[in-house]
Amino acid sequence: MNIETARFNMIEQQIRPWEVLDGQVLSLLSVVKRENFVPLAHKALAFADMEIPLQSSGAKGQCMLAPKVEARLLQDANIQATDKVLEIGTGSGYMAALLAQQAASVLSLEIDPALAQSARTNLQNAGIANVEVRQADGSQGAPADGPFDVIVLSGSVPEVPQHLLNQLKMGGRLLAIVGEDPVMRASVITRNGETQWQTSEPWDTMAPRLQGFPEHNRFSF
C-alpha cells in the first residue's frame, strides 16, 4: 500500500467516522505530511489508529496522539486566521504544524529538550515558519506571551489549572482531555467574561498524561 492510499484510508476510515467532517480540517490532514513527523523507527505506523511513541532521551512516555484524536481537537478548536495559539506538549511538532496552517501564530511548549529540538527540525523541514517551539514546563502556560485566542493541551491532565484559563482572551477557548483512567473527556472551555467560563464535554477518549501537571491525591485504605 502506498503512502497516499494509507493517508486516504486514515481520513476515511478513522477520522470521518469520528465525526470530523470540517472540510478545511480534512484537507489539512491531506496536506500536512504526518509521516514526516513520526520517528524513523515507527514510520510504518504513521497512519495507524494508535498512539506512536516518541523516542527521545529523557522522554517519559510521550507520544503522538491517535490521528482521530488530533483531528477532533483541531476541529473543535475552530481556529481562525487571526488567532494566537498556545500549544502545551509539542511532541513531534505535528499538531503544531496543523494549528499553524489555520492560525496567525503558534507558541508550542515542550518540557523535554530533545523533543523540542526534534520538533523544531520537523517544522523547519516542513517549511512552517509561524511556530515557535520553546523548551519549557507547559503546565505554567506562557503568561508573558498571552493572552491567547486558543490554548490546546496535546495530552491529558487530571484537571485544567485556573492559571491556564486566565491566559485566554475574552471569547477564547481551551481544549484539553481531562480525567482519570479509565474515564477521560475532551473539554472545550470558553472564556465568556473576566471570571466566567463555559465548559462542554463533547466526546470521550483516552490520552497519555502531559508532564508537569499535579495528579490528584489517591487515598488507599
Model pTM score: 0.93
pLDDT in tens, 180-210: 988 899 999 999 999 999 999 999 999 999 9
Buried-exposed string 41-54: b where 16+ CB fall within 10 A, e elsewhere: ebeebbbeeebbbb
Dihedral over Cα of 20, 21, 24, 26: its sign: positive
Q: What is the pLDDT of residues 103-161, one digit of tens each?
A: 999 999 999 999 999 999 999 999 999 999 999 999 999 999 999 999 999 999 999 99
- The pLDDT of 1-18, averaged and rounded, is 94
Residue 132's pLDDT is: 98
* Strand boundaries in the chain, DSSP class E: 52-53, 63-64, 84-88, 105-110, 131-135, 148-157, 168-180, 183-193, 196-205
- From CA 105, how far away is CA 82, in angstroms rounded? 8
Predicted confidence at residue 59, as pLDDT, reads 46
Mean pLDDT, range 82-105, rounded to an integer: 97
Q: Rounded to an integer, what distance in angstroms lies between the CA atom of residue 33 and that of residue 92?
A: 12
Helix axis angle, 94-102 to 23-31, nearest 10°: 130
pLDDT confidence of residue 60 = 56
pLDDT at position 62 is: 83
Sign of CA dihedral 111, 107, 142, 25: negative
Q: What would the mean pLDDT of 62-82 be, rounded to a whole number? A: 96
Please give the Cα distance from 187 to 73 (Å, whole number).
10
| Fold adopted by 3-205 | Rossmann fold (3.40.50)
Arithmetic mean of pLDDT over the chain: 93
Closest C-alpha among 215, 186, 216, 208 to residue 89: 208
**Pairing label, strands 168-180, 183-193:** antiparallel
Which residue has 508550542 as its cell numbers? 108
Q: Determine the Cα–Cα distance for residues 91 and 112; give it in Å rounded to an integer.
A: 9
